[in-house]
Structure 1
Amino acid sequence: MDHSSGAAQPDPRRYEKIEKEEKELYLDKYLNVAFGLDQISGAFQEEVPSYAMSPAIGPIGGYATGRLNALESEFHDGKYVAPVEEAVRHRELHPDTVDKQLGFLSVDICGATALRKADNDQFDRAYDILLRELGTLVGLFNGAILKTTGDGYIAYIDHPSFTNLCDGIIDLGLCTLKLLHESVNPALLKHNLPEIDIRIGADYGEARVKKYYIAATGFSSTEIASDALNRAVKIETACERNEFRIGRCLYELIHVGWLERAEEVGFDGHSVGLEGYQTYKMR
C-alpha cells in the first residue's frame, strides 16, 4: 500500500485502476488478478501477528569489501578473520506432525568436475573458502544450511512471516552472487586459485521433516520431503552461469520492489516433471 498521499492507496507500481461491470477495481499487474479497494485494505486491517526479520548486514557492497579484506589477511598470515556481524547459529530441522512453509535456495558450482580434475587440491581450497563465506551469509540472512552437495549446498529460511521469508530468500540469492563476484572470486584469482561460477535456484512451499530408522543397523536419517525443495534444485539446474532464478510459488509472494527485478524466462518443465511451471530470472 502507498501512504504518501495520506490515505492508504494501492501501490501504483503494482496496481492499475480499472473498471469492470461498473465496479472500480485494482489490477495486480504482476499476478493479473483484480481486487476491490475494500479487499486490499481489509487484508491490511486484519489483526494478525506482526513479525520482523532483516539481515544482520547493511548494504552488501560494504560487507563484500570487508570480507575481501579479511580474505587477503587470511592469505597473508593464515588466520581466519570472522565478520563483525553475528550470524544466527546453525539449527537442525526436527520431525513435526505439522508441515512447515519454507523457502529453499539451491546453489551449485558450474563445472565442478572439470575444476576438480584440473587440480583437486586447488579446487578443494577454493571450495572451502566459498562454502564458508557463502554459508556465513546464509546465517546472516537468518537461514541455515540444509546440506552440502560436494559442489554446492542447499539452504533454507524458516520464519513465521511468509512475506519476510520470501523477500529474504530473494535478497539472500542476489547478495550471494554479489559476494561471490566482489569478494570470493577476486581473492581466489589473486592467489592463483580457480575462479568459481555458480547457479542459484529458489522456491517456496510446504515441507515435511521426517526421520527414518533402520533398527537392525542403527542407521537414522532426517529427510525433507518437499516439492518446493525439488523445484528449487530443478530450477537451479536450468540456470545459466552466475544466474539466479526463482519459481512461480515464490514469485507470487514477494514485494513489488523484487517483482520489478524479475524477468520471466523459458523453462523446460516437462523434462523435469514441472509442466507449464513459470520461472523468473532475478536481476
Structure 2
Amino acid sequence: MAPQDENPDKSYFRMDFVQEIIDYEETEDGVVAKFAMVPNPDRYKKIETEEFQGYYDTLDKAYIPFSTIESFASQMRGTPIYHSSPEIDNTSEYIKNRKETIERFFEEEQEPPELIDASQELLQELADKNDTRFVILSIDIVGSTQLSQDLETEEYRKIIQLFFREISVMIRDFKGHVLDYQGDRVVAYFPDPNYTGMHDNSIDCASSIKKLILEGINPVLQSRDLPELHFRIGMDSGEADIVSIGASGVRGELSLFGSTINLASKIENQASEDEILLGEETERNLHTMWRQNTEQVTFDDWDYEKENGEQYRVYRLKY
C-alpha cells in the first residue's frame, strides 16, 4: 500500500489538567475543600497580555485561548469520566513476584493454555457500538531465527512459550487485549471508552514489558545458561476497522484492519534492539510525564505522510 494511502486520522488530541485547591473550610466534621481543574503547569504557561489571553503549550508549541478551554469545559459538563486503572500499580514489585513463576515455568511440565478468546466478544461489542479508536502495540523478538538455530527445539519452544505467556498477561493487566500471535510477534490493542486512559495504559504497558524482559525474564534465562531475549516495540493510535474474516464452515473471526495496524507494525520494524517507538498520534496523546521523556527519531527509508503531505513523525521512549 502506498504511503499516502496510510495516513493516520489526526482528529484527536488531549490536554492534561491537575487539581488545584481554590478554597477550603474547617468544619466540625473536618475540612471541606473545593478543587479546580487547571492546565498542568509543567506543560502549559499562562499568558495574559493585550495580544493574547490563554495558555502556551510548551510541548505542542501552540497557543490555547481561554475561550477554547471554556468551550471544552462546557462540552464536557455532564459527560461521564471513565477511569481505567491497570491491575499493576508497581512494576518493580510485580516483576519481583513474577520471577518465581518464571522459574517454575522451566521446572514444571506446562499444561496447554485454555482455549479462550475473550477478545472476540469485546470486538463484537465495540463493533456494535461503532467504537473503533485504538492504540495498537506490536512487539516481536529480535533475532528469533538465530535463536531457533542455536538452541535445542525444546529449549526454543520453552522460551517462545514463556515470552508469549508473560507478554499476554501483562497486556491484560494493563487493560489491553491480544489481537494476534504472528510467529514471534504479539499484536495487542487498547480500546476506548477512555481515549486518554488507553494511551496512558498502553505506554505504561510497553515500558513495563521492557522492564519485565530485561529485569525479570533475562536473569532467569542467564541463570540457566540460556541466551537473553531482546525485543522491538512499535505503537500507533487511531481508527481501525473491525472486520469479519475467514470462511463459513472453515474458520471465522473478527479482526482489526487499517492504517493504524499497518503503521504500528512498520514502526516496530524500525526499532532497534530493546527500543520502544511511537507514532506521532500515540506520542501526541500521552500524559505530559511520558511526553517529556520522548524524542523524535528519523530514518532514511521512512516516507509515510499525513494528509497534509507532512511526514508522519516517529518518537522514541527514552527509558
Q: Same fold (TM over 0.5)?
A: yes
- Work out the CA distance in 1 between the residues paired with 2:235 and 2:206: 8
- Work out the CA distance in 2 between the residues paired with 1:223 and 1:118: 34
Instruction: Tell me if 1:64 matches 2:85.
Output: no
Percentage identity across aligned positions? 28
Task: Give the AA of the match of 2:315.
Answer: Y
User: How many residues matched?
Assistant: 275
Write the mapping of 1:122-201 to structure 2, written as runs, cut at 5 A. 122-201=155-234
Q: Quick check: 1:105–1:154 contact (8 Å CA) kept in 2?
A: yes
Paired residue for 1:223, among 235, 239, 255?
255
Query: Residue by residue, what CA displacement relative to the aligned partner does 1:165-190 show, whole Å, maximum 9, x if unpaired?
Result: 11111111000101111111111221
Instruction: Tell me if 1:3 matches 2:19.
Output: yes
Query: Residue by residue, what CA displacement relative to the aligned partner does 1:218-245 show, whole Å, maximum 9, x if unpaired?
Result: 4545332221111111111111100111
Structure 2 vs 1, CA of residues 149 and 277 (structure 1 numbering), >3 Å: closer, same or farther?
A: same
Instruction: Tell me if 1:91 matches 2:122.
Output: no
How far residue 270 of structure 1 moved from its aligned partner, in angstroms, is 3.9
Paired residue for 1:209, among 242, 248, 262?
242
Task: Give the AA of the match of 1:276.
Answer: Q
Task: Give the AA of the match of 1:35.
Answer: I
Match of 2:31 in 1: none
- Work out the CA distance in 2 between the residues paired with 1:116 and 1:75: 17
Write the mapping of 1:9-158 to structure 2, written as runs, cut at 5 A. 9-18=38-47, 22-45=51-74, 46-47=76-77, 48-78=79-109, 90-92=118-120, 93-94=123-124, 96=127, 98=130, 100-121=132-153, 122-158=155-191
Structure 2 vs 1, CA of residues 136 and 36 (structure 1 numbering), >3 Å: closer, same or farther?
A: same
The CA RMSD measured in Å over matched residues stands at 2.6
Moved more, 157-166 or 93-102: 93-102
Query: Residue by residue, what CA displacement relative to the aligned partner does 1:108-161 show, whole Å, maximum 9, x if unpaired?
Result: 110111111222522221111111011100111111110011112101111201
- Work out the CA distance in 2 between the residues paired with 1:214 and 1:79: 33
- Work out the CA distance in 1 between the residues paired with 2:246 and 2:274: 39
Structure 2 vs 1, CA of residues 139 and 41 (structure 1 numbering), >3 Å: closer, same or farther?
A: same
Q: Quick check: 2:176–2:190 contact (8 Å CA) kept in 1?
A: yes
SS at match of 2:137: strand
Q: Structure 2-normalised TM-score?
A: 0.78
- Work out the CA distance in 2 between the residues paired with 1:206 and 1:18: 35
Instruction: Tell me if 1:251 matches 2:283.
Output: yes
> Which ranges of structure 2 fall in alignment gaps of 5 or more residues?
1-16, 23-35
SS at match of 2:188: strand
- Work out the CA distance in 2 between the residues paired with 1:269 and 1:128: 33
Larger Rg: 2
Task: Give the AA of the match of 1:26.
Answer: Y
Q: Quick check: 1:137–1:176 contact (8 Å CA) kept in 2?
A: yes
Structure 2 vs 1, CA of residues 51 and 90 (structure 1 numbering), >3 Å: closer, same or farther?
A: same
> Whose relative contact order is higher, 1 or 2, with alpha carbons under 8 Å and at least 6 apart?
2
- Work out the CA distance in 1 between the residues paired with 2:142 and 2:133: 29
Structure 2 vs 1, CA of residues 138 and 15 (structure 1 numbering), >3 Å: closer, same or farther?
A: same
Moved more, 165-174 or 269-278: 269-278
Query: Residue by residue, what CA displacement relative to the aligned partner does 1:54-93 show, whole Å, maximum 9, x if unpaired?
Result: 111221000001111222244345578xxxxxxx983212
Task: Give the AA of the match of 2:267.
Answer: I
Moved more, 243-252 or 24-33: 24-33
Q: Quick check: 2:305–2:312 contact (8 Å CA) kept in 1?
A: no
Structure 2 vs 1, CA of residues 270 and 195 (structure 1 numbering), >3 Å: closer, same or farther?
A: closer
Q: Quick check: 2:106–2:158 contact (8 Å CA) kept in 1?
A: no
> Which ranges of structure 1 fall in alignment gaps of 5 or more residues?
81-87
SS at match of 2:180: strand
Q: Quick check: 1:126–1:193 contact (8 Å CA) kept in 2?
A: no
